[in-house]
Amino acid sequence: MKKFKFRFESLLKMKIDKEEQVSKELGIMVSELEMITLELEKNESRLHTFEEESKQLAKQGVTISEIRRLSDGIDHLRKKRKEIEQCKLEKEEEIALQKQKLVAAMKDRKIMDKLKENAFANYMEEFEQSEKKVTEEIVNYKSSQKKEIN
């Protein structure tokens, strides 16, 4: 009997490749989200530093221009925080969509894997039946040979 060959092997390979591609893209997106989170943390740290410095200088009695400089810096950092938070939300939405794509790609691949398993099971069943048939033919042949001799 011929060797097992899954007739949709190329399609299965394509599904596996697609799943790997989607998974890699998801990994890239997650690392980008981590970078955005780090940027947000740095911004928060700078904002906290500016606010503390502003409080210290207010206690010491500094010039209006110095207070204005710190106030402008704080406003800039707060705007930047809003921008970064918006960017983070967008990236999280992209990641959620990519996860859905990954789930769909995994389902497609699992369907093809199951088809391959079923095809292999059918192949093995046919193989066993052909083996059984050959064995029966051999037994029948030997049995008929014995009868002819007697």
Question: Per-residue confidence of the chain (150 residues) as pLDDT tens digits?
Answer: 688 898 999 999 999 999 999 999 999 999 999 999 999 999 999 999 988 888 888 788 777 788 788 889 899 999 999 999 999 999 999 999 999 999 999 999 999 999 999 999 999 999 999 999 989 888 888 777 777 775
Across 82-104, b (16+ Cβ under 10 Å) vs e yields eebeeebeebeeebeebeebbee
Structural domain boundaries in the chain: 9-109
pTM here is: 0.76
**Residue 22 CB: number of other CB atoms within 10 A?**
19
3-state helix/strand/coil string of 70-97:
HHHHHHHHHHHHHHHHHHHHHHHHHHHH
